[in-house]
Amino acid sequence: MIRLRKVLFAAALSVAVAANTGCSSRSNAAANAKAAPTSDTPAPEVAARPAHPPIPTTHDNPEEEKVRFRDAGVFVDGVPIAVMRFGEMPKALEVKWTTLDDGRKVRRYLLCDYLALLGIDVDKIKAVHVYGGRGRATRIDGDLIRQYRKKLLFSYTQGEKGKPRVNWPSDDPDFHVTERVDTIAGLAIYVNDAPPRWDADRRVLVGADGKDLDWIPTKTELRGGTRVYVDDRLAGAVKRNMLADTFLVPGQTASADDARYQLFPLLASEQIDMTKIKHIALISEDVAIATLDAAKPLQFSAPPKSSGQIVVYVPAGDPSGLTDAHVQALLLSTK
In a shared domain, residues 79 and 196:
yes
CA count, 13 A, side-chain hemisphere, 18: 6
CA-CA distance, 41 to 156, in Å (whole number)?
A: 8
Domain containing residue 116? 62-213
Q: 121 vs 70, which has greater pLDDT?
A: 121
Residue-wise pLDDT tens digits, 59-116: 334 433 443 447 999 999 999 999 999 999 999 999 999 999 899 999 999 999 999 9
Task: Using the 3D structure, point to which of 186, 213, 240 is the last residue of a domain.
Answer: 213
Q: Quote the CA–CA distance of 82 and 118 in Å, as a whole number.
A: 8
pLDDT tens for 234-264 read: 999 999 888 999 999 999 999 999 999 999 9
Give the Å distances, CA to CA, from 213 to 18, 178, 236, 249: 46, 17, 26, 45
pLDDT band at 272 (very low <50, low <70, confident <90, very high): very high
Q: What is the pLDDT of residues 297-328, one digit of tens each?
A: 999 999 998 888 999 999 999 999 999 999 99
Query: Does the residue 10 lie in any domain?
Result: no
Residue 22 lies in a domain: no
Q: Is 45 within the bounds of a domain?
A: no
In this structure, the answer to whether residues 70 and 209 fall within a common structural domain is yes
Structurally, the chain folds into a number of domains equal to: 2
Same domain, 92 and 208: yes
Provide the CA 197 distance to its chain's centre, in angstroms: 25
Q: Are residues 177 and 270 in the same domain?
A: no
For residue 302, count CB atoms less than 10 angstroms from its CB and return exposed for 0-12, middle for 13-18, buried for 19 or more. Answer: buried
Higher model confidence: residue 287 or residue 64? 287
pLDDT at position 320, please?
A: 94
Q: Are residues 237 and 266 in the same domain?
A: yes
Query: Do the domain assignments include residue 20?
Result: no
Assigned domain for 17 exists: no
- Which of 213, 243, 269 terminates a domain? The answer is 213
231 and 199 share one domain: no
Q: How far apart are CA 172 and CA 182, in angstroms?
A: 17
What's the pLDDT at 65? 40
| Single-letter residue type at 155 | S
Same domain for 130 and 202, yes or no, is: yes
Three-state secondary-structure class, residue 154: strand
- Please indicate, yes or no, whether residues 148 and 253 belong to a single structural domain of this protein: no
Yes or no: say if 74 and 84 are a contact pair by the CB < 8 Å rule. Answer: yes
